[in-house]
Structure 1
Amino acid sequence: MGKIRDIIRSPEYKKVETDIEDFVKEKLQGYIPVDTGKKTIHDPVWGSIDYSEWEMQIIDCPLFQRLRDINQVGLAMLTYPAARHSRFEHSLGVASAAKIMCDKIDKNSDNFNVPSEIKNTIILAALLHDIGHCFYSHLSEAIYGELKDFADVRKKFNDILELKPKPHEILSFMIVNTNPFKEFFFQYVNYPNKGSVRNTLFLDIGCMIIGQNIERDGRIRSYETSLINGPFDADKLDYIKRDSLTAGLTLQYDMERLFTKIQVHTVPSKNNIIEDRLVINFNGITAIEELTFCKIMLFSYIYYHQKVLISETMIKDYAFGLYKLDIIKKFSDFLRYTDSSILQLGKMQAGQNPFPEYGTMLNLEELAKNIHNRRLPRRCFEVSQSNVVAIKPVDEEKEALKYCENILDKCKDSTYSAEDLKDAMLSFSTFLMKDDEVKLDNLVSGLRDMTYTEMLEKRKEFYEEFVKEYKKQGKNVNFTLFDIYIVFPKLVNYGAANEEVVLGKDHHKLMSINDFVKLDHWASSFNSNKWRGYIFVSDKIDRSIAFEVSERLILKGQAKLRNPMAYLKGIEY
């Protein structure tokens, strides 16, 4: 735990921690849990699950209850109306899955049982794993995660632990390790044997949330972290089921098979230290395969749906505008405001310009109304690996002309038959239809993974080219760069594919998931065939002009779309 304590003591951490502590203190002020006893909660994914008294005392606290107003899948409900489930029920679901997994480990493992004290820690971590999520879940991360003070904290975690936890995981870590939260917990929550775990409980939980293995008494207890943040953790088991269920997608994985094949396997590690690792038996790998396929489909149908992506891009404009005007001033403000309250803040703009450096006004209240009423920009350009082809060079055109001349010369020969001409024309048509492959990634890599500030600069570049084309065609310009949206999501990366978590037939040899299921290939296939990049524009911009300019800026004259007519004809799809 020395490295973790080094992070907590660092000036970078302390600078953000004070603000987070104030927020936690504010949320918990005056809350004293009552002794309700255990309760049964009925859930569409996990059925009827019992929660103990201490769990209910956490669930009922205001800090946890705020998760009711944070949508699990951001603004996906604008496309999938029933996808309105929150981080609240997801967190309950993760705790349910963690309980089942602990019980199955006890049943399936050879000479290993999860100690009751550790099982309670795992359940508590499952409940609290998303306690740091802010409005619209991952969308707000794109704003506060880039702010300098928070970026410094992220770097501290990266440098000391060689981990890259997500921004909300760091906030969750910080919340559970604040003095106000720990004081509330140890004073009021009827947690079993809490006196004996006072010094380590929330450090352990923080480690599990960010993906850091717990090491104590010469033993690495990696299975604890893997149950919360691992290749087949309770978090994935819940959100894959829950997100697909609420979106109306019939995605299934063999949950029971997975549960019957997981166990904890003890393996030797370095420096005479042993590791208790969460593994799955080799004949349960089909469940992992199904789980991975379901995750791919969720990206294809929900997370990367074009309407979901554009609504998320609009909320980033809105949230960054609030921050630029100091309406959202501190990190705690990202936690303080939830999905229902954040859209009300645009009324506080009072005529101020959040982006004066771009010489144009962004009306936040109007933007909030457009988001709320689903008045979204429309696609004018879409690009993917499967719909681009290389532009044939001039020398290839000359070659085609010579091909024609050669056929004409042969036709002058009386011995040249109709069958010969047919064969020549088939060969020529094959030559014409041959598409030279173009590597899309080489053209669009600079448009992915941009910070918000970098994205604004790129939008300015597009805006200037749009204006040039408008003036060239003698049209009036009545739009701004905020009428243009560049949406190029990250490539999908499934990660952890090479971790040795599959137990072989001999019950000793450990193999990676990639030895059975080529997850890297699956991710590559998705990125080649399903990934899409988009340009959206508001109704103020002529989409035909927007298409032409976008094609020129993105494909750089090196490639063209196979079928641009859908855009040029203004077909809505």
Structure 2
Amino acid sequence: MKKTHIDIIDPIHDFVRVYDSELKIIDTPIFQRLRRIRQLSSAHLIYPGAQHTRFEHSLGVMHIASMAGHALYEKGLISVDDIQNLRFAGLLHDIGHGPFSHIFEELLQKKRHSHEDIGKEIILKTMIGDLISKNGYDKRFITKMAFGDSKFQFLNEIISGALSADIMDYLLRDGHFTGAEHAKIDHNRLTFSLDVYKNKLALDKSALVNFETMMISRYQMFKAVYFHKTVRAGEVMLLESMNLAEEELELTSMNLDDYLKLSDEVILSKLLSLPEHNSKLKTAKKIATDYQNRNLFKPVFELALTGTTITKKRMRDIREELSKNSKVDINEIFVDSSNTSSIPLSPSKKESKSIILLEVDNNKPKAKEIQISNIQLVSVMSGFMKILRVYTPAKNRKKVEMAAKSILGDLK
């Protein structure tokens, strides 16, 4: 009897089962590209073990999405085909990511694009979608589910919601490979406790403590890894170098075939090989060289914001004020905020701000929708996740630090 699956050894899930229809997708050059895109862009400069990629994360999301699907199937809520749709959607949810993961996202936003837009195009217009169709599944429906657009909201939320397979695998995998040891979540209990209420994903009330633990892990990983001051220094440098070289390298205007040739190392190589016929390109090349040699920008000021939301315009204004006050070139001052899209696990627009808790009372299910921000532990932590930082090359450290304290010291 011909074997219809393989089991891939994985340090997070022990074994990830992959069926023939999925293996054909995984073995395409388009999917193999994800091996060359690190999950955490610059975190390896601080946490040397953080070399894991979008490839293994995608396998992990497929695995957890499958677990969630089986839990709902056993409750009579979905079909076997729905489980397979979830597996495909989990496998392909990150197929459109660009080099350095979330960092490239900020470049794409200039053209009002996102990795989700590119992911949709990849599934619908390449061999990926053809392989899905050949196996009797609807590539359009799977595309919608992978990027949160299907009419079945609870299926969308398994891939990209507050209780998503994406977040669970992200936290577990990042915690393991960074060694940060903060991602202690019981994804088995969470997935087995999933339910559906009025087309929305719900959670058995008895598992609320497990959800709270996941949110605590999310906060701890944010502080220790995702918005770590030195991790962000490297990411700010990459973003600035790519911004300066954007036109020269046509980073946001290339066609899909050229986009699919990009990886972390390809982009870094392009930045290091830039011609020096103007000051912008010289600066971009210098920053990329410093990044490669780990000669990183220095954080000179940090402020936790309790009520203020810093817009991009306000960040530009602060940068100008700092330059005038410090007499340092504005191109050597960088203002970073924790609400930027280039930070992993920053809440997405499509991510639900509430959670539905289910419990059985006198053999009748009772549902209660609560705002995630109203969960006591979450509300206490969320105030500490709004942070403003100022970076500059080491030579300017004292001047910019003094200017930042003068200008931003009273900002709350």
TM-score range relative to shorter protein: 0.7 to 0.9
Does the residue aligned with 2:331 lie in a helix, a strand or coil?
helix
Instruction: Please state if 1:384 is matched with 2:307.
Output: no
**What's the CA shift for 1:185?**
4.7
SS of the equivalent of 2:78 reads coil
2:367 to 489, 497, 510: 510
> Which deviations, in whole Å up to 9, do the C-alpha atoms of 1:166-220 show, x marking residues without a partner?
x22222122212265434554xx5x2xx1xx4xxx22212221222232xxxxxx
Output the amino acid matched with 1:261: S
The count of corresponding residues between Structure 1 and Structure 2 is 399
Q: How many Å separate the matches in 2 of 1:42 and 1:326?
A: 38
- Contact residue 73 and residue 80 of structure 2 kept, 8 A: no
Q: Distance in 2 between matches of 1:281 and 1:522?
A: 19
The residue number in structure 1 matching 2:343 is none
C-alpha separation in 2, matches of 1:343 and 1:456: 26
SS of 2:365's equivalent in the other structure is coil
Structure 2 residue aligned with 1:548 = 402
What does residue 93 of structure 1 align with? 60
Shift in CA distance, 241/559, structure 1 to aligned 2, threshold 3 Å: closer
Q: Which residue number corresponds to residue 259 of structure 1?
A: 191
| Residues 359 and 365, structure 2, Cα contact 8 Å, conserved in 1 | yes
Distance of aligned partners of 1:181 and 1:252 in 2 relative to their CA distance in 1, 3 Å threshold: closer
> In structure 2, what is the equivalent of residue 496 of structure 1?
352
Match of 1:367 in 2: 287
Please show how residues 301-316 of structure 1 align to structure 2 within 5 Å: 301-316=224-239
Give TM-score scaled by structure 1 length: 0.64
Report whether the alignment pairs 1:238 with 2:100: no
Residue 146 of structure 2 corresponds to residue 209 of structure 1: yes
- Residue 531 of structure 1: CA displacement? 4.0
**Contact 1:134 1:337 survives alignment (8 Å):** yes
Mapping for residues 16-165 of structure 1, pairs under 5 Å = 37-107=4-74, 109=75, 112-147=76-111, 151=112
- Partner amino acid, structure 1, of 2:352: A
Runs of 4+ residues over 4 Å off in structure 1? 454-458, 491-495, 517-524
Change over 3 Å in CA distance of 1:551–1:334 after alignment to 2: farther
Following superposition, the deviation at residue 365 of structure 1 comes to 2.6
State whether structure 2 residue 397 is matched by structure 1 residue 466: no
Q: CA deviation at 1:505?
A: 2.6
The answer to whether the Cα contact below 8 Å between 1:282 and 1:505 also exists between their aligned partners in 2 is no
Letter in 1 for 2:86: I
| 1:256 counterpart SS class | helix
Partner Cα distance (1:258, 1:237) in 2: 9
Q: 2:120 aligns with which of 162, 168, 173?
A: 173
Identity %: 23
State the alpha-carbon separation in 1 of the partners of residues 382 and 164 from structure 2.
24
**Contact 1:485 1:535 (C-alpha < 8 Å) held by counterparts:** yes
Deviation, structure 1 residue 521:
5.5
The more displaced of 517-526 and 334-343 is 517-526
**Per the alignment, in what secondary structure is the counterpart of residue 251 of structure 2?**
coil
Query: 2: CA distance between counterparts of 1:304 and 1:291?
Result: 18
- Cα 1:254/1:348, change in 2 over 3 Å: closer
Q: Is there any run of 5+ residues in structure 1 with no aligned partner, and where?
A: 1-34, 155-166, 215-220, 268-274, 356-360, 386-439, 468-478, 561-573
Q: Deviations over 1:333-380 (max 9, x none)?
A: 55431111111112443223364xxxxx64333222211221112122
Partner residue in 2 for 1:570: none
- CA 493–259 in structure 1, closer or farther in 2 if over 3 Å, else same: closer
Contact 1:327–1:348 (8 Å) recurs in 2: no
Contact 2:190–2:210 (CA under 8 A) maintained in structure 1 = yes
Structure 2: runs of 5+ lacking an equivalent = 341-345
What do residues 136-179 of structure 1 show as CA deviations (whole Å, max 9, x unaligned)?
100000111122xxx2xx6xxxxxxxxxxxx2222212221226
Residues 211 and 226 in structure 1, CA contact (< 8 A), matched pair in contact too: yes
2:241 is the alignment partner of 1:318: yes
SS at 1:486 equivalent: strand
Which of the numbers 206, 215, 236 marks the counterpart of 1:292?
215
SS in 1 for 2:47: coil
In the aligned structure 2, how far is the partner of 1:329 from the partner of 1:370? 24
Q: Report the CA distance shift for 1:329/1:226 in structure 2 as closer, same or farther (over 3 A).
A: closer
Which of 149, 153, 178 is the equivalent residue of 1:222? 153
Are the aligned partners of 1:483 and 1:538 in contact in 2 as well (CA < 8 Å)?
yes
Cα-to-partner distance string for 1:453-479 (whole Å, 9 max, x where unaligned): x85665344223322xxxxxxxxxxx6
State the one-letter code of the partner of 2:332.
Answer: D
> Relative contact order (alpha carbons < 8 A, sep ≥ 6): 1 or 2 greater?
2
Output the CA distance in 2 between the equivalents of 1:382 and 1:322.
28
8 Å Cα contact 1:98/1:227 also seen in 2: yes
Correspondence list, 1:374-453, <5 A? 374-385=294-305, 441-442=307-308, 445=309, 448-450=310-312
